[in-house]
Structure 1
Amino acid sequence: MSSNVMARTTTRTPELRRSGGWAAVGVATFSTAWGGNQFTPLLVMYRADGGFSALTADLLLFAYVLGIVPALLVGGSLSDRFGRRPLMLPAPVLAAVGSAILVVGGSSAWALGVGRVFSGLALGLAMAVGGSWIKELSSPPWETAAKGAGARRAAMSLTAGFGLGAAVAGALAEWAPAPTVLPYAVNIAVALVAWVLLLRTPDTRTPQRRNCIPAGAHSIFGCWNAISAGTWRRFVRVLVPVAPWVFGAGASAYAVLPALMADHVAGAPVAFSAVLCLVALGVGFTVQHSARHWGLDDRTGVVVALSLVVLGMVLAAWAAAVLTVWAALIAAAMLGAGYGMTLLVGLQQVERIAGPDDLAALTAVFYSLTYLGFAVPAALAFLSRSLSYPVMFGFGAIAAVVSLFAAVGGSRRPVPIS
């Protein structure tokens, strides 16, 4: 891990060093992840009741990426310069606004798309700014924690929100009244509670002035995203092959498989979709929690992460061919393990190679690349006109193998010192 783990800090309060101050940011991250993924199990409902085609529904799932990416890249970089709290405070509010728009949107694809974009804006801020804030609050002088604790806590906060948001929304939509209202109302309440908790959380950075682009650095957004050349090379060689598989695996588990199984679980298709979300993300959460005991180095972590994705794609091809409940559950579990490990390995690599002035910016770039994987459901729906899902998942397994060899080759070079 880089020796410069802390940026310039605000007044250091000794009593907070072991107080778990990161938990409030974790709750806020959890609430925005909840808002981002609550829509996923409801896709089955919108297809049936709203009359949306599979492609339209998958495009609505992908729509929140339009909010996530700019919020990631701009919000993360600005928080490196102006502080974490000012950029993180809007996140729970935007999550609540997004859920409110989804309530009033009804069966309008355009309104639902707008609501998804707001959910994406919230999640983008939480991932880049909240993740960096959690990492810093898990480090001295705020807390003495084990190596990699910040990355694990950030990953687990996201995964718990993704999983519980989908599970609760799916259960409420299947069995509770007002299925297009109540699931979103719960998220609004959770998000507002999270916003209140953030108000008293200490900021870990103070506003600062700095040169726009230091010598030997690369910048995507002018003064606010300068990354050293050595860090950038490591990022491209190792993290670029890994990142798209985070949600490539996740979305395959909780968006593609539920759609394929909808006609085979006719009694409760929305609930089964929620179950697949919960299985995939529950396994992902467990992997992230237990990985600290495995003692994996950088290269071994990459190998394990992408090997799980390869196995997940192979099992998804099998599940798509046989279309049984148990096959879908097994495939979702393995894809969830791949999701969980690729996310954790990616965040830990970012934490190691980033300097104090580009932690949130580099985290934002990584997360932006992970969301390329959310194009997988729409891409497969489009290609299904000429290819079967087992064949497409088979190609996915081959692509994951190629990514594995590329990332392992890149990880042989030493980690740059920031």
Structure 2
Amino acid sequence: MVSNFETGLQSAESVRSVRPRIAHQWLGVAVAVAAVGWGANQFAPLILMYRSTLGVSAATTGATYGVYAAGLIPGLLLGGPVSDRLGRRRVTVWSLLVSAVASAVLVLAEVGVVWLFVGRLIAGVASGIAFSSGTAWLKELSVIAGAKGNGARRSTVAMTSGFAVGPLVAGLLAQYAPAPMIVAYLPHIVLTLIAVALVARAPETREPNPDVRIWQSLHLHEDSRRRFLGVVVPVAPWVFGTSSIALAYLPGLVQDRLGDTDLIFSAVVTTMTMLAGILVQPLARRFEKPGTSRLVVTALVIVTVGMIVGASAAAAESPILIVMATIVLGAGYGCCLVFGLSELQELASSDNLARVTALFQAVAYTGFATPYLLALVEFVLPIPTLLVAVAVLAILTLVSIVLRERSLRSHSDTSNLR
């Protein structure tokens, strides 16, 4: 069956004309998405440095993730429609430059904690713009090149590669380089400038169209709308809720046992979490079948297991168990993200893909508030109990999605008989 997205994209003469040039030029866009992902996640291992050097609390550093989401969500919601109107290339270049500015502002955190919040807010805006326009661009390039099924996976791998490499490099520089609060951010600034040059050579898939409205409805078919709201949206907060617990919450639970290796530990854990999200792709491909709940069931089962291991790690204060938990949670993150992006490619048309992707990712990034919420509630409940409670929420989400999908399938079968 041909998806709404593929049908709409293939009908555009200006897009078909670039097919011969597309085979490998999606890589430049992937580097751009990875560069912004680097800037978004390079902050994760530095949290422990700011806590020890600047004396900020766990709740304060957790709040920086909430501020990041506050910038990211409007960036997502505007980035997609604006790229529909102005073209993917122009908007993606803007996001890269804004991402570089965010790193430059974070350098000022040594002067005052307020710059952490300002820098993270700007980084959120850049990420929102890049992840909505960039992922849509990657999917469109993949379809035109005859690799429709690779679009969601390329977007996931590009984003997750940046999420993985950025914190590793930043953590190593923070641990061993002079002036760590400055030097840790310099590689990202250089990478964004390289990405700008690469993006300038990538084929445009959405020519500027001043008639495109920034704010408009999603224009989903009724069955697609039901599936989007009932099956896809509920899993969205688990994408980054899962990864943010692994990156920003669990490593801090064993900081006192790490001594001088805390930054390296956090950097390695962050990288392993994101690598797990990439390496789980073969499993995701095996279970991926748009229109079914196979992959989302697998994803939420993995998330549940990861939370249980995390609860055990918290109870034992074991760095080894923390590493195991973050790897499992990284796999869950990867499966959740592939599921969401694959579903969007089937549900959306070329005219609204960026907007639907932006909405999904906006909901997904609300998960970044999870470490802050856990840091607040841990004064009331033991940390292992909190993580078990999160595992229970994952199971409840899974049951809800399975029941909803069965209801949608029954409704569809009834409609077909009429």
So what's the TM-score if we normalise by structure 1? 0.92
Which residue of the partner structure matches residue 217 of structure 1?
none
SS in 1 for 2:386: helix
Contact 1:248 1:373 in 2 (8 A): yes
1:30 maps onto 2:50 in alignment: no
Q: Which moved more, 1:99-108 or 1:339-348?
A: 99-108
Q: Which of 355, 360, 368 is 2:354 aligned to?
A: 360
User: In the aligned structure 2, how far is the partner of 1:58 from the partner of 1:108?
Assistant: 17
Deviation readout 1:350-401 (Å, 9 max, x if unpaired): 1110111110001001101111111111001101111111000010011000
Correspondence for 2:152? 151
Structure 1 Cα separation of the partners of residues 301 and 282 of structure 2: 19
Say whether the 8 Å CA contact 1:4–1:355 is kept in structure 2: yes
- 1:251-271 per-residue CA deviation (whole Å, 9 max, x = no partner) reads 111111111011111131111
Report the counterpart of residue 13 of structure 1 in structure 2. 18
AA at the equivalent of 1:279: M
Determine helix, strand or coil for the equivalent of 2:14: coil
Could you say if the C-alpha distance between residues 58 and 9 of structure 1 is closer, same or farther in structure 2, counting changes exceeding 3 Å? farther
Q: 1:280 to 1:47 in 2, by over 3 A?
A: same
Q: Contact conserved, 1:308 with 1:335, CA < 8 A, in 2?
A: yes
Q: Distance in 2 between matches of 1:152 and 1:168?
A: 24
Task: Give the SS at the match of 1:223.
Answer: coil
| In 2: Cα distance, 1:372 partner to 1:384 partner | 20
Contact 1:50 1:107 in 2 (8 A): no
For residues 14 and 229 of structure 1, do their structure 2 counterparts lie closer, same or farther at Cα, with a shift above 3 Å needed?
closer
Which residue in 2 is equivalent to 1:181? 182
8 Å CA contact 1:81–1:357 kept in 2: the answer is no
Q: Is the 8 A contact 1:227 1:362 kept in 2?
A: no
Q: Contact conserved, 2:5 with 2:346, CA < 8 A, in 1?
A: no
Count how many residue pairs are aligned between Structure 1 and Structure 2: 404
Partner of 1:257: 250
2:58 maps to 1:57: no
- Structure 2 contact 287–295 (Cα < 8 Å) conserved: no
Q: CA deviation at 1:227?
A: 4.1
- Equivalent pair of 1:40/1:61 in contact (CA under 8 Å): no
Question: What is the correspondence of 1:215-364 to structure 2 with a 5 Å cutoff?
Answer: 222-223=215-216, 225-294=218-287, 296=289, 298-364=292-358
Supply the distance in 1 between the matched residues of 2:300 and 2:349 (Cα, whole angstroms).
26
Higher mean alpha-carbon deviation, 226-235 vs 196-205, is at: 226-235
Select which of 117, 129, 134 maps to 1:125.
129
Check if 1:139 corresponds to 2:143. Answer: yes
* Structure 2 partner of 1:405: 399
Cα pair distance change 1:278/1:262, threshold 3 Å? same
Q: Which moved more, 1:82-91 or 1:257-266?
A: 82-91
TM-score when scaled to structure 2? 0.92
Deviation at 1:120, TM superposition (A): 1.1
> Which structure dedicates a bigger proportion of its chain to helix?
2
2:260 aligned counterpart, secondary structure: coil
Quote the Cα distance in structure 2 between the aligned partners of 1:174 and 1:101: 20
* Seq. identity, %: 38
Q: Pairwise mapping of residues 66-145 of structure 1 onto structure 2 (< 5 A)?
A: 66-140=70-144, 143-145=145-147
Q: Report Cα offsets for 1:7-33 as digits up to 9, x if no partner.
A: 335361343142x12111100000000
Q: 1:267 to 1:9 in 2, by over 3 A?
A: farther
Please give the secondary structure, in 2, of the residue aligned with 1:356: coil
Structure 1 vs Structure 2 CA RMSD: 1.9
Contact residue 81 and residue 215 of structure 2 kept, 8 A: no
Which ranges in structure 2 are unaligned for 5 or more consecutive residues? Answer: 413-418
Contact 1:315/1:331 (8 A) holds in 2: yes
Cα shift readout 1:50-77 (whole Å, capped 9, x = no counterpart): 1101111111132211211111001112
1:394 paired to 2:388: yes
